[in-house]
C-alpha cells in the first residue's frame, strides 16, 4: 500500500507542477497583453477616468451612461497591466487614454488582429502618436495627422458676455440646423459626412444631439449663423465641439460670444467644467477661446483615416 501511495504521489506531482506553471504563464501573458475590461473592473476604470477627467471626458461619458458591456458601450474598453496602467477605447474612434510604449504596443496588437472599424485615433498626444506608430504600417497612410491640438478648459463664468440669442435647437428645427452641421463637418474633417451612403446615419446623429438638448445655435432669418454642440458630457466635464460660424459672418465676434454662451450653459447651468480642443494652426479660434477665458491644460492629437 505504501508503495502504491508513494508511486501515486510521485506520478501526480509532475502533472500538478506542469499545470501550475501553465497557469502562471497564462497569467503573465494575460497581464502582458491588452484585455477586455468588464463590469468587475468598474472600480479600477472609474479611478482611472477620474484621474484625468478632462482628457477622459469622451470615454467617461459613455461609461457612466452605459457601463462596460461592449453592446451598450458602443465599443470595447481595453486595459493593460494589473493596476490598469494603460487604457484604450475602441469603437468608431480609437481613443488611447493612458499608458506607455508597452501598453500602446499591446493595444496595437489587439487592434490589428481584427478588421479596422475606427475612422480616427484621437486623445492625449503622447498616447495617440505612439499608438499610430505601431499601427501605421497596416492602417496608413493617414488622411491627415493633427499632431498638436491644445486641450483647453473653463471652470468659471466666461470673461465676455454670452450671446443671448444662442439657444438650444428644437427638434422641429433639424432641417434648418443640418446644413450648418454638414458644412462644419466638411470644413473640419475634409469629408462630406453624407457621402458614401452616410446621410441617414449623420442625420440621426445630429437629431440625437438636438433631442438631448446638446445642440446650440443662433438663427437669423431662419438660417444658422452660429452653431456648437456639447459632444460629450460626463459627471464633471462637458466637451464643446463643432463650433462653426457662417462664412458671411466670420470675424464679427459671433464665434466668441456664441462659444461663451455654450460654455456658460455648461459651467453655470449644468455645473460642469467646459472643455474643448482646437487645431494649433487655427489661430483665430485659439484667440477667441482665450478671450472667452479658456486656458490650456494639455495637448490632444488626431489621426484621420
Pairing, β 237-245 against β 86-90: unpaired
User: What is the reported pLDDT for 26?
Assistant: 40
Closest CA to 203 of 193, 213, 212: 193
At residue 296, what are phi and psi to the nearest 5 degrees? -80, 135
pLDDT tens for the chain, 305 residues: list them. Answer: 343 333 333 344 545 545 455 444 444 444 469 999 999 999 999 999 999 999 999 999 999 999 999 999 999 999 999 999 999 999 999 999 999 999 999 999 999 999 999 999 999 999 999 999 999 999 999 999 999 999 999 999 999 999 999 999 999 999 999 999 999 999 998 899 999 889 999 999 999 999 999 999 999 999 999 999 999 999 999 999 999 999 999 999 999 999 999 999 999 999 999 999 999 999 999 999 999 999 999 999 999 99
All three cell numbers of 158, joined, read 466666461
Helix (H, G, I), strand (E, B) or coil at 218: strand
User: What is the reported pLDDT for 21?
Assistant: 52
* Residue indicated by cell numbers 465676455: 160
Q: What separation in angstroms does the CA of 66 have from each of 27, 232, 304?
A: 29, 13, 26
d(CA 105, CA 95): 14
d(CA 12, CA 5): 11
d(CA 15, CA 263): 64
What is the value of pTM for the model shown? 0.87
Q: What residue ranges do the domains of the chain occupy?
A: 35-140, 167-298
Pairing, β 93-98 against β 76-80: unpaired
262 close to 239: Cβ distance less than 8 angstroms: no
d(CA 51, CA 250): 38
Closest CA to 300 of 147, 143, 189, 187: 147
At residue 5, what are phi and psi to the nearest 5 degrees? -65, -40
pLDDT in tens, 13-40: 545 545 455 444 444 444 469 999 999 9
d(CA 149, CA 122): 10
User: What is the reported pLDDT for 234?
Assistant: 98
Closest CA to 123 of 94, 101, 153: 94
Note the CATH number of domain 167-298.
3.40.630.30
The conformation of residue 191, written as its DSSP 8-state character, comes to S
Amino acid at each position: 500500500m505504501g508503495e502504491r501511495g508513494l508511486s501515486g504521489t510521485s506520478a501526480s506531482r509532475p502533472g500538478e507542477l506542469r499545470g501550475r506553471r501553465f497557469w502562471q504563464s497564462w497569467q503573465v501573458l494575460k497581464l502582458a497583453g491588452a484585455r477586455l475590461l468588464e463590469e468587475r473592473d468598474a472600480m479600477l476604470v472609474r479611478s482611472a477616468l477620474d484621474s484625468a477627467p478632462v482628457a477622459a471626458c469622451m470615454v467617461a461619458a459613455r461609461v457612466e451612461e452605459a457601463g462596460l458591456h461592449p453592446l451598450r458601450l458602443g465599443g470595447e474598453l481595453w486595459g493593460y497591466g494589473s493596476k490598469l496602467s494603460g487604457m484604450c477605447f475602441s469603437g468608431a474612434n480609437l481613443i488611447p487614454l493612458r499608458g506607455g510604449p508597452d501598453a500602446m504596443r499591446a493595444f496595437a496588437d489587439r487592434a490589428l488582429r481584427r478588421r479596422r472599424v475606427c475612422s480616427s485615433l484621437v486623445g492625449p498626444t503622447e498616447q495617440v502618436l505612439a499608438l499610430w506608430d505601431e499601427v501605421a504600417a497596416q492602417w496608413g497612410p493617414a488622411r491627415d495627422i493633427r499632431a498638436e491640438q491644445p486641450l483647453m478648459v473653463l471652470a468659471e463664468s466666461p470673461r465676455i458676455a454670452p450671446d443671448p440669442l444662442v439657444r438650444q435647437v428644437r427638434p422641429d428645427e433639424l432641417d434648418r440646423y443640418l446644413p450648418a452641421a454638414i458644412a462644419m463637418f466638411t470644413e473640419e474633417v475634409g469629408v462630406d459626412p453624407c457621402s458614401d451612403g452616410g446621410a441617414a446615419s449623420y442625420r440621426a446623429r445630429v437629431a440625437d444631439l438636438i433631442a438631448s438638448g446638446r445642440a446650440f445655435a443662433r438663427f437669423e432669418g431662419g438660417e444658422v449663423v452660429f452653431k456648437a454642440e456639447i459632444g460629450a458630457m460626463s459627471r464633471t466635464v462637458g466637451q464643446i465641439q463643432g463650433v462653426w460660424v457662417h462664412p458671411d459672418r466670420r470675424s464679427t465676434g459671433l464665434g466668441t460670444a456664441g462659444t461663451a454662451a455654450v460654455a456658460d450653459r455648461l459651467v453655470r447651468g449644468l455645473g460642469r467644467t467646459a472643455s474643448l480642443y482646437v487645431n494649433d494652426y487655427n489661430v483665430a479660434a485659439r484667440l477667441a477661446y482665450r478671450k472667452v477665458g479658456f486656458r490650456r491644460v494639455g495637448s490632444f492629437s488626431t489621426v484621420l483615416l
